[in-house]
Amino acid sequence: MKLPLRQYLRLLAKYLKPQSRRSLLMGVLLLASIGLQLANPQVLRYFIDTATGGGKVASLMVAALLFIGIALTNQGVSIVARYVSEKVAWTATNQLRTDLVAHCLDLDMAFHKEHTSGEMIERIDGDVNILSNFFSRFVIYLLGNVVLMIGVLLLLFQIDWRVGLAVSVFALLANYTLIRIRGRAVPYWTAERQLNAEFYGFLGEQLAGTEDIRGNGATRYVMRRFQQLLYNWYPVNLKATMSYYMMGMTTLTLFAIGNALAFALGAYLWSIGKISLGTVYIIFYYTNLLTQPIEQIRTQLQDLQKAGASIQRVEELLLMQPSIAAGSGMPLPTGTLAVEFRHVDFGYTVETPVLQDISFCLQPGKVLGVLGRTGSGKTTLARLLLRLYDIQKGEIRVGDVPIHWPDLRLLRQRIGMVTQDVQLFHASVRDNLTFFNQDIPDTRIIEVLDDLGLTAWYRSLPNGLDTELGSDGEGLSAGEAQLLAFTRVFLANPGLVILDEASSRLDPATEHMIEQAVSKLLNGRTGIMIAHRLGTIQRADEVLILEHGRIIEHGSREKLAANAASRFYHLLQTGLEEVYV
């Protein structure tokens, strides 16, 4: 039997500390409720004994009212306790969710590539949901039920030592048996949760790619995978559920034995005149009351075990450190930024190098056009500049500062990137453009939109900047989405702009608008343009051609264009489209 008690207590301490007073209140309420539960049968015993002994009706009335009063109070206390414990649980688990989300956002791209969004949802929400039970109930219920059990046994001893002894032995045996068989279910539950996460991971991925799946006729393959997952899931789930019910059955049987024992003892003691009828009743009642803590202790321990996997995964996730260190906070120079690569080697995994021995230098304010086949490493080059990944060898300098010196956020603020896929959020146009930065005034946004030729589009918005955008940029053309991405970069005012140009063909009018926007964006900034069209490259001062992750040509565009022996010259003759796309 292995309980993740220590990990659990560590999480508990961390997230309950800020609400210690409320937790204390929860404990007090619970104890009060236990006290009331123990007191009420005493009133009943008095009632029964008075009634069978021919007592006064008035006393019976008082006893009855007292009984009802205590029962109602107990209900009231339970409701408040429940309310407080839910509040504690939600506050704690929301904090935990927040911490996990913030933590995951800080983790590397490599981490996010490895884990599907469905899996992340299951880990952050599923696992935390399971934990929420503990924050409200586990310790308190466990302690509360142990107290209740001891209280009941003491009261039984006080009635008659034989009854006390017999029921104590029974309670011990029952607890022991249940805890012993509980351990069996754990592996099944762990396996079940794992498959659960896999299933949702798969589902999330497929739903996100519905269009591609249908378009490519992969539906049958997806359905097959889907059925396979269900097929694997079913037997594991069955075993997990069955083991759970087996424990339930054992509990019921044990309780039946306990009841029979109480009845037999009570009947015997009554028949020899040792106890009154009211006492027989109270013995039976208390023995019955004992089933609650035994059952609860079992469920709580069982839940703890089920959550063991979740607790462990949450802890694992929290312990995972981004491999990209934050940087010592060295400032970057203001204004345009120079870029320098010195013998840079990089691969997403150590075994497969993607970029090799990349060295070049770009003066501030200059524009570099990067050409190369699909897969030659152009996008990777851009990612390295944003430090989405760290390089294995060499050095990258931005603004004459090694890239790992400045704070990551500062670095990414000073470098603007526009890629093929523009990620729009389900939020207002304003928030989409400013990335929720409220310091940027509306007048500035409108100015930039005007500048980029988006005036007509902006005027057509029903609520201006407050218009909500659909999450996938519904209702926006590809060109408009691109222009919005440019607007974003403009508003952030970076010193270096990277354009990983859209390969989608735009209509000529939009293309013209985008070209103008690019000109404006590059004005007074250093630029790296990953080009899929030769038209784009006309703006570049320098040209760099990548092949299989190596630089095979680098030089001034004009000189290369004039040199009949150069690759670039050759490309200009044949056309980039024919060679590369």
Ligand X SMILES: Nc1ncnc2c1ncn2[C@@H]1O[C@H](COP(=O)(O)OP(=O)(O)O)[C@@H](O)[C@H]1O
Pick from 170, 174, 94, 103: which is nearest to 135 by CA? 94
Note the residues at the interface with Mg ion (CB under 5 A). 379
If one asks whether residue 375 binds ligand X (CB under 6 A), the answer comes out as yes
Q: How far is the CB of 468 from ligand X (least distance, A)?
A: 32
Task: For residue 239, give the H/E element and its range.
Answer: helix 219-271
Output the CA torsion 475→476→477→478 (10° steps).
Answer: -130
Which H or E run includes 545? Answer: strand 542-547
Q: What residue has token string 């630089």?
A: 551
**Taking the complex as a whole, how short is the minimal distance between the CB of residue 350 and ligand X, in angstroms?**
12
CB of 373 vs ligand X, minimal distance in Å = 7
DSSP 18: G
Under a CB-based contact definition with an 8 Å cutoff, are residues 454 and 476 in contact? no
- Is residue 482 at the binding interface for ligand X, with CB under 6 A as the rule? no
Q: Which residue's C-beta sits nearest to Mg ion?
A: 379
Nearer to Mg ion, 336 or 380 (CB): 380
Residue 49 neighbours by CB distance under 10 Å? 17
Q: Which of 194, 216, 374, 455 binds ligand X (CB under 6 A)?
A: 374
Q: Minimal distance in Å, beta carbon 375 to ligand X?
A: 4
Question: Quick one: 377 or 527, whose CB is closer to ligand X?
Answer: 377
For the CB of residue 325, give the shortest distance to ligand X in the complex, in Å: 20
Taking CA atoms, 296 is separated from 23, 175, 304, 373, 432, in Å, by 20, 11, 12, 65, 50
Q: Looking at beta carbons only, is 332 or 344 nearer to ligand X? A: 344
Q: Is residue 503 a contact point for ligand X (CB under 6 A)?
A: no
Q: How far is the CB of 113 from Mg ion (least distance, A)?
A: 15
Q: Which is nearer to Mg ion, 379 or 556 (CB)?
A: 379
372 lies in the binding site for ligand X (CB under 6 A): yes
The only residue of 93, 302, 380, 526 in contact with ligand X, by rule CB under 6 A: 380
The angle subtended at Cα 215 by Cα 209 and Cα 220, nearest 5°, is: 80
Residue numbers 185-214 binding ligand X by CB under 6 A: none
Can you spell out the DSSP letters for 171-200?
A: HHHHHHHHHHHHGGGHHHHHHHHHHHHHHH
Give the residue with the Cβ less far from ligand X, 117 or 413: 117
The total of other beta-carbon atoms located within 10 Å of residue 66's CB is 17
SS3 content of the chain, % helix, strand, coil (to 5): 65, 10, 25
| Binding region for ligand X (CB under 6 A) out of 164-172, 212-220, 373-381, 468-476 | 373-381
State in angstroms the smallest separation of the CB of 506 from ligand X.
Answer: 19
Kindly report the length of the chain: 581
Q: Give the residue with the Cβ less far from ligand X, 266 or 377.
A: 377
From candidates 111, 263, 348, 360, binder to ligand X by CB under 6 A = 348
Q: Is 95 in the site for ligand X (CB under 6 A)?
A: no
Q: How far is the CB of 208 from Mg ion (least distance, A)?
A: 20
Nearest approach, Cβ of residue 341 and ligand X (Å): 14
Least distance (Å) from Mg ion to the CB of residue 500? 6
116 counts as binding ligand X under rule CB under 6 A: no
Q: Is 417 within 8 Å of 500 (Cβ atoms)?
A: yes
> Any contact of residue 379 with ligand X (CB under 6 A)?
yes
Q: Which of 201, 293, 377, 399 binds ligand X (CB under 6 A)?
A: 377
- If the CB atoms of residues 36 and 537 are measured against Mg ion, the closer one turns out to be 537
* Region 30-89 residues binding ligand X, contact defined as CB under 6 A: none
Please state the three-class secondary structure of 108-170 as a single string. CHHHHHHCCHHHHHHHHHHHHHHHHHHHHHHHHHHHHHHHHHHHHHHHHHHHCHHHHHHHHHH
Using rule CB under 6 A, residue 378 touches ligand X = yes
Query: Cα(310)–Cα(444) distance, rounded to whole angstroms?
Result: 47
Residue 372 contact partner, candidates Mg ion, ligand X, none, CB within 5 to 8 A by sort of partner: ligand X
Ranges of beta strands (E only) in 363-452 are 367-372, 393-398, 401-402, 415-418
Instruction: Using the minimum distance from each CB to Mg ion, give the nearer residue, 95 or 379.
Output: 379
Cβ–Cβ under 8 Å, residues 382 and 303: no
Q: Which does 484 bind (CB under 5 to 8 A by kind): Mg ion, ligand X, none?
A: none
Report the partner that residue 377 touches, choosing among Mg ion, ligand X, none (CB closer than 5 to 8 A by kind).
ligand X
E strands, 382-480, in order: 393-398, 401-402, 415-418
| Cβ 579 vs Cβ 569: under 8 Å | no
Contacts with ligand X by CB under 6 A: the residue count is 11
As a whole number of angstroms, the distance between CA 412 and CA 402 comes to 14
Q: Which does 354 bind (CB under 5 to 8 A by kind): Mg ion, ligand X, none?
A: ligand X
| Smallest distance from Mg ion to CB 388, Å | 13
Which entry of Mg ion, ligand X, none binds 111, CB below 5 to 8 A by partner kind? none
Interface contacts to ligand X, rule CB under 6 A: 113, 348, 354, 372, 374-380
